[in-house]
Amino acid sequence: MKRAAFKMKLKPGYVTEYKKRHDEIWPELSSQLNAAGVSDYSIFLDEETLTLFAVQKLTDNNASDLLSQTAIVKRWWAYMADIMEVNPDNSPISIALKEVFHLD
């Protein structure tokens, strides 16, 4: 099992809406993430900077790199684009984080 972490940025004024949308995550999106080998996925918010920190576990043979090509992920990105900083294709601007410490 691998771990991946990354950060994204929320637009001001959308903390409640971001949480609401994730509390109501589409079942087909959850299924697609699980099928790609993503599990134990958490997103944390630094309310001072509106930076989102995401952490997920990936199976050794995961297909997470292919998620961006799926219709459901593209639809989710379009749904979230109004409240997050995004790229021209609506994907969230995401910066991978380097793991420097882990304790089981």
Options 2, 22, 66, 82, the catalytic residue: 22
- pLDDT tens by residue, 12-55: 999 999 999 999 999 999 999 999 999 999 999 999 999 999 99
* Owning domain of residue 93: 2-97
Would residue 102 count as lying in a domain?
no
Check the CA dihedral 66-40-54-31 and report its sign: positive
In a domain, 7, yes or no: yes
Residue 6 lies in a domain: yes
Residue 78: per-residue pLDDT: 98
The CATH number of whichever domain residue 54 belongs to comes to 3.30.70.100
| Burial class for 59, CB neighbours closer than 10 Å (0-12, 13-18, 19+) | middle
Over residues 64-95, the pLDDT tens digits come to: 999 999 999 999 999 999 999 999 999 999 99
pLDDT at position 68, please?
96
Q: How many domains does the chain have?
A: 1
Is residue 102 annotated as part of the catalytic site, yes or no?
no
In a domain, 31, yes or no: yes
Whether residue 74 lies inside any domain: the answer is yes
| Model pTM score | 0.93
User: Looking at the domain assignment, is residue 103 inside a domain?
Assistant: no
Residue 104 domain-assigned (yes or no): no
